[in-house]
Amino acid sequence: MAYAFTLAGRMDIRRQLLQSLDEQAIKKDGTVHLHRPEFSDDSGVDRFPYRRAPSAEVEMNSYMLLALLSKPNVSDDDLTLATQVVSWMIKQQNPNGGFSSTQDTVVALQALSLYGSLTLSHDNGFTFFGQNSSCRVPCRGIKPVASPTYCPEGSPRVLNLELPA
């Protein structure tokens, strides 16, 4: 409902709903997520043997993320909370990048895409560090030819770039 009120521009009701959700959310290990109380208990028994949340929980958290990020002028507090929700959500993905069902995958990818569009840095560049100095090289229009690879400390590093014509 918080997402629907966000889209309707009813920020007063949105704020109340998000506050209520925040009070019910589980905050653990730098993540925040909502859960269905009927599926939680204090027995310590893992009700979900594959450690991924059920489809409904992925969907609930996706809609909370959409509610946080769909208003004009998203605040730093909303982005901080959204980052914690995203941290939980990406742990729920299956090896193929989806979630439990088609429906929760579609809503989750919509929410994660919105988060990505708001947090993407357009600073395409490299910073090179030497022993006594560093320099910043802007790279607009320059594409790395290969993906970065790990280089052990002290080994020579080569960066192949494709320069625009």
pLDDT band at 99 (very low <50, low <70, confident <90, very high): very high
How do the domains of the chain map onto residue ranges?
A: 2-119, 125-162
What is d(CA 109, CA 62) in angstroms, rounded to the nearest whole number?
8
Q: How far is CA 73 from CA 42, 70, 161, in A?
A: 39, 9, 37
Closest CA to 39 of 23, 56, 27: 56
Q: What is the model's pLDDT at position 140?
A: 54
> Using a CB cutoff of 8 Å and minimum separation of 24, what contacts does 35-44 make?
36/60
Q: What is the model's pLDDT at position 95?
A: 86
Closest CA to 105 of 39, 63, 55, 38: 55
Q: Which of 15-29, 34-48, 78-92, 97-111 is the least confident region?
A: 34-48
Structure tokens at 97: 């990048």
Share of the chain above pLDDT 70, in %: 64
Q: How far is CA 83 from CA 39, 106, 145, 156, in A?
A: 25, 19, 31, 36
At how many degrees (to 10) do helices 55-69 and 102-119 cross? 30
Stated length of the chain: 165
Q: What average pLDDT is seen over the chain?
A: 78
**Contact, 70 vs 6, CB < 8 A?**
yes
At how many degrees (to 10) do helices 55-69 and 76-91 cross? 160
Q: What is the pLDDT of residues 70-82, one digit of tens each?
A: 998 999 899 999 9
Structure tokens at 66: 């959409």
Closest CA to 79 of 110, 123, 114: 114
Q: What is the pLDDT of residues 42-72, one digit of tens each?
A: 444 444 444 678 889 999 999 999 999 999 8
Report the CATH number of the 2-119 domain. 1.50.10.20
What is d(CA 159, CA 149) in angstroms, rounded to the nearest whole number?
10
Structure tokens at 124: 């395409």
Mean pLDDT over 10-18 rounds to 94
